[in-house]
Structure 1
Amino acid sequence: MTNTNKTVLAIVAHPDDAEISCAGTLALLKDKGWNVVMATMTPGDCGTTVHSRAEISKIRKQEAADAAAMLDADYHCLECDDVFVMYDRETIVKAIALIRKTKPSVVITMSPSCYMVDHEMTSKIIQTACFSAGIMNIVTEGLEPYFYTPHLYYVDAMEGKDRFGKPVEPGMIVDISSKIQLKEDMLACHASQRNWLRDHHGMDEYIIAMKSFGEKRGKEINASYGEGYRQHLGHAYPQNNILKEELGDLVHER
């Protein structure tokens, strides 16, 4: 089945995950005429040392919306609890509803293998939601089944490694060199997360860390900056690489 709806949905775990991992690719797709939608499973309500859950949720959702606005993108939050993203019926139905509402032909989500369980659960939930959005016996109020399985891509694991420190190699790298300033500007919207990382992780090089890893991936394809992806190629999912078809020589398959 062919889908001519040029919409890409980036649905990640927390505000700032997309800016770190796939904002450059989203910007490139926008230049190709794609509609960009950004979403998070949680509002990042545990990412603070000073605010209540309600306070930090409001702050971080506004930061996410501000970053999304740089791509003229809508932002959605599924309102799951930070640190407690669960692979359960309620959460999967929320994700299915978002897919039915936005009707993407491409979905980008978290790596199945990463340092944080929220990231890994998000990956599993979105895999199921993409596959199940067309199942008529799963009811989402006011939304009809979406009879199309989107192309599904997983972003790089954080720092490109699994929980054991072993490399998680991407199947392709997108040259985002022309979009690195926009990616940086989008990430800079997340001021509250920088403060949290400084206080909790002892890490105050938020943007530098993003750019450093982008340089690492870029070097692998003789470019200044890159973003890595793996495509879900299991049964019933599209087998063609639509990112390559849309972005051409900027996509380096491995």
Structure 2
Amino acid sequence: MTDQPKRILAIHAHPDDIELQYAGTLALLKDRGCEIVYCTMTAGDLGSMDLSQKEIAAVRRGEAEKSAQMLGAEFVCGEFGDLAIFNDDDSRRRVTEIIRKARPDIVITAPPLDYHCDHEATSVLVKDACFGATVPNYKTHQWDPAPYLDHLPHLYYVDPIEGTDYYGNPMPPQFVVDISEKMDLKLEMLACHASQREWLRAIHGMDEYLDSCKRWSATRGEENGFAYGEGFRQHKGHPFPHDNLLGELLNLK
């Protein structure tokens, strides 16, 4: 590898998704000198029983910014609406511009199959936009567009929630990162999203936001011989890179 810092684009659907699924790995990458762009597709504008969409979006955007600051990461919001992320041309061009501006060596995003439609739409949009970002004539219609990428970034998907498919069948990751030393920071970042805890308690009757995250991280870790872990799969379809740059940066065996 060269001495140039690697750039990581962490892009998932909602504020708190990154923390739940891979903040520990991002913290390890930060320690290794990587530059991180932290992007949520939405600002969580439907995540309240009491506040208006505009009001809760402002709250949740602020929570995401606070969390990103804990990694020294640049925060970006795609400004999609909750339950309104769709795989269409306008959306693909918007995500393409996000990727071009981030200039990533590695993109880490939502899994293709997950419980939430916004997660799945994010996954396919990011995959297709990574390719589109390298095509000079694929214009994004921005007033000040970023130049196209001269390479395809390495693309990775995080675990689906609870690591299962729609039928509860396990979906094992290709590799798991030991985040034991970063588990406390991961939980501190997740705790920034206080409004999401209130939303989950109101809409789903859940009040174990941090504990459930810790349990799942422990499950992935214990399967691989360490305390806490985060699972990943790499997109290796043509023409994406096949070497495991993420694993190389983290000295995975």
Fold similarity call, TM over 0.5:
yes
- Partners of 1:220 and 1:35 lie apart in 2 by 30
SS in 1 for 2:177: strand
8 Å Cα contact 1:5/1:103 also seen in 2:
no
**Residue aligning to 1:118:** 118
**Residue aligning to 2:19:** 19
Alignment map for 1:68-147 (pairs within 5 Å)? 68-140=68-140, 141=142, 142=144, 143-147=146-150
Pairing partner for 1:198 from 186, 198, 201: 201
Alignment map for 1:157-168 (pairs within 5 Å)? 157-168=160-171
Identity among equivalent pairs (%): 47
**Residue aligning to 1:54:** 54
Q: How far is 1:129 from its partner? A: 0.7
8 Å Cα contact 2:67/2:189 also seen in 1:
yes
Q: How far is 1:123 from its partner? A: 0.3
8 Å Cα contact 2:197/2:209 also seen in 1:
yes
Q: How far is 1:5 from its partner? A: 5.1
Q: How far is 1:234 from its partner? A: 0.4
Q: How far is 1:167 from its partner? A: 1.2
Letter in 1 for 2:236: L
TM value normalised by structure 1 = 0.95
Letter in 1 for 2:240: Y
Pairing partner for 1:186 from 186, 189, 193: 189
8 Å Cα contact 2:5/2:33 also seen in 1:
no
8 Å Cα contact 1:85/1:122 also seen in 2:
yes
1:203-223 Cα offsets, whole Å, 9 max, x none, are: 000000000000000001110
- Partners of 1:3 and 1:247 lie apart in 2 by 15
Pairing partner for 1:245 from 232, 245, 248: 248
1:58-114 Cα offsets, whole Å, 9 max, x none, are: 000000000000000011111111011110111111111011111000000001111
**Residue aligning to 1:212:** 215
- Partners of 1:75 and 1:90 lie apart in 2 by 22
- Partners of 1:128 and 1:25 lie apart in 2 by 24
Q: How far is 1:169 from its partner? A: 1.1
**Residue aligning to 1:170:** 173
Q: How far is 1:4 from its partner? A: 4.8
8 Å Cα contact 1:3/1:105 also seen in 2:
no
**Residue aligning to 2:237:** 234
RMSD across aligned positions (CA): 1.3
SS in 1 for 2:217: helix
- Segments of 5+ residues of structure 2 without an aligned counterpart are none
- Partners of 1:99 and 1:76 lie apart in 2 by 11
- Segments of 5+ residues of structure 1 without an aligned counterpart are none
Letter in 2 for 1:158: I
Q: How far is 1:3 from its partner? A: 11
- Partners of 1:11 and 1:3 lie apart in 2 by 25
- Partners of 2:75 and 2:87 lie apart in 1 by 22
SS in 2 for 1:115: coil
8 Å Cα contact 1:3/1:148 also seen in 2:
no
